[in-house]
């Protein structure tokens, strides 16, 4: 049986999360415990979907010893994976949790170098994986050597096969990807402001900007995340402002990816935009309340749906 969702992570990582009592800058820091996870936006989405009971396949470009580690981690989670192998080593992203402040500091490597041949083979791999698939999630940074327009190539390939794409990227990759008319996008507020080149002063301006993308770029849904201030989900005819329930934030890693996964879960289940706004907000909030790279599960998301405050825009 083919997966319902294919996720793309062009620049995956082995996420190494370490806990220390208190970070001592320019001093000795003794690590209390270590956690190793498969990471990257598309992979994180696949992990959340697995916890929601949705079958997905994670596609990535990987290399070296870390490629085997990524594969093992995904298989342990019950996630099918397909990697285009490249020379060099997949990056390792270090996340240091300071238990005294409950803050996470991240150190991310650049990523593995790719060339035209690797990208051409990956495009074919991606297109072949789409048979019987409903949605594709393309997200995260592009690896060194990939042109800014590569996500546009993948979205075009998906649209030819009538597969709807959710794009979660930033900068030139986001701008170029928009030109291929993805079905949905999930920028954060800062990314959206960078795209338009000016500040969006309030919720009304944000909704107006999102509707401009819907009119001019062929996007159907825009989900804008704003960290602790919540999110806004916009279509051509509806918009919902979600304000999250109070939490003690422990790590923002994977919170936006959890929102993307919850959006796909809602689309697969035929949920209304109002229901989607509530589910995506709860998913992102719960993941932000977890340490390191841990993500939400469907039972805890459903238990908190009633705590999300929604306003019709």
CB 110 within 8 A of CB 121: no
Q: What is the DSSP string of 43-107?
A: HHHHHHHHHTT--EEEEEEE-HHHHHHHHHHHHHTT-EEEEEE-SS--EEEEEEEETTTTEEEEE
Residue 93's closest CA among 45, 37, 138, 143?
A: 37
Residue 183's closest CA among 130, 221, 225, 213?
A: 221
Which residues are CB-neighbours of 31 under 8 A, at least 6 positions away?
Answer: 18, 19, 20
Which residues are CB-neighbours of 22 under 8 A, at least 6 positions away?
Answer: 98, 99, 100, 101
Instruction: Let me know if 257 is a catalytic residue.
Output: yes
Residue 165's closest CA among 237, 267, 233?
A: 267
Report in angstroms the alpha-carbon separations of 278 from 56, 151, 209, 222, 248: 23, 29, 22, 14, 19
> What residue has token string 């923002």?
252
> What residue has token string 């804008």?
224
Straight-line distance from the first to the last Cα atom of the chain, in angstroms, rounded to the nearest whole number: 40
CB 236 within 8 A of CB 210: no
CB 77 within 8 A of CB 50: yes
Task: Give catalytic residues, as residue numbers.
Answer: 257
């Amino acid at each position: 049986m083919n997966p319902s969702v294919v996720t793309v992570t062009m620049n995956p990582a082995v996420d190494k999360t370490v806990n220390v009592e208190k970070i001592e800058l320019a001093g000795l820091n003794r690590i209390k415990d270590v956690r190793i996870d498969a990471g990257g936006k598309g992979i994180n989405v696949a992990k959340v979907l697995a916890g929601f009971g949705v079958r997905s396949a994670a596609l990535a470009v990987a290399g070296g010893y870390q490629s085997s580690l990524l594969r093992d981690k995904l298989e342990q989670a019950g996630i099918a994976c397909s990697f285009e192998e490249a020379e060099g080593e997949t990056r390792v992203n270090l996340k240091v949790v300071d238990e005294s402040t409950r803050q996470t500091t991240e150190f991310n490597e650049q990523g593995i170098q790719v060339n035209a041949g690797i990208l051409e083979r990956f495009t074919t791999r991606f297109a072949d994986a789409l048979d019987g698939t409903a949605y594709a999630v393309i997200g995260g940074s592009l690896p060194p050597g990939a042109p800014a327009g590569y996500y546009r190539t993948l979205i075009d390939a998906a649209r030819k096969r009538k597969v709807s794409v959710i794009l979660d990227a930033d900068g030139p990759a986001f701008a170029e990807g928009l030109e291929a008319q993805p079905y949905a996008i999930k920028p954060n507020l800062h990314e959206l402001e960078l795209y338009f080149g000016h500040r969006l002063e309030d919720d009304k301006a944000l909704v107006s900007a999102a509707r401009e993308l819907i009119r001019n770029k062929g996007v159907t849904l825009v989900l804008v995340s704003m960290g602790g201030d919540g999110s806004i989900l916009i279509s051509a005819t509806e918009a919902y402002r979600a304000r999250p329930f109070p939490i003690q934030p422990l790590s923002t890693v994977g919170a936006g990816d959890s929102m993307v996964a919850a959006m796909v879960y809602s689309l697969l289940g035929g949920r209304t935009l109002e229901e989607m706004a509530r589910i995506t907000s709860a998913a992102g909030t719960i993941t932000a309340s977890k340490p390191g790279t841990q993500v939400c599960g469907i039972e805890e998301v459903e238990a908190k749906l009633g705590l999300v405050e929604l306003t019709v825009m």
